Amino acid sequence: MAVIDFLKKATRVYDPSQNKIIIAQLEMVGATKISVDYQASSRLVNGTSSVYNAVVKENIKPARVSLTLLQTSDSVNKLYQLENHVRNQGGTFEIQVVKSGKPILIGNAMFEQLPSESLEETASDMTFTFICDFAVYDTALINDSTPQG
């Protein structure tokens, strides 16, 4: 019974209401989907025999972040203004993706693709795509009690 009690304490509850994306210090509203795609970090090289295989570590590549917003969201105009500013002035902007209250990606980003425009009877969602040179990703755990030497 003690193991089950421990698991109950250690298990986090997924809370989608705490999911958010912050771009250039502005929290986006009206997001219907946020996705982060990481590139492969290693690959398998096959030798002349099935016995000879090697795992090769790849250089860390930027992540791709897709943000789908309702067409009526105020954030759409803010993103177009940000894209116009970055195109004219240059530079990058900070992007933060928070999943269930915990940051899973923080880094500098730039626009990869703006949404395609279509005129229809029903308002379609708009998807912005960013390339993000990430500094934090949710694959490493840090133990604060580890002595620094």
pLDDT for res 35 = 93
How large is the average pLDDT for residues 98-105? 89
Please give the mean pLDDT across all residues of the chain. 82
In the Cβ-directed half-sphere of 148, how many Cα atoms lie within 13 Å?
2
The predicted model scores a pTM of 0.73
pLDDT digits (tens, 9 = 90+) for 58-93: 777 888 999 999 989 999 999 999 999 999 998 899
Tokens of 141: 């755990």
**Cα 18 from Cα 98, distance rounded (Å):** 7
CA 85 to chain centre: 22
Residue 4, Ramachandran bin (φ over 0: left; ψ between -120 and 50: alpha; else beta): alpha
Question: What percent of the chain shows pLDDT beyond 90?
Answer: 42
CA separation, residue 16 to residues 19, 31, 68 (Å): 5, 12, 16
Nearest of 135, 114, 6 to residue 62 by alpha carbon: 135
pLDDT at residue 140 greater than cutoff 50: no
Tokens of 91: 């530079």
Nearest of 44, 33, 21 to residue 105 by alpha carbon: 21
**Cα 128 from Cα 65, distance rounded (Å):** 8
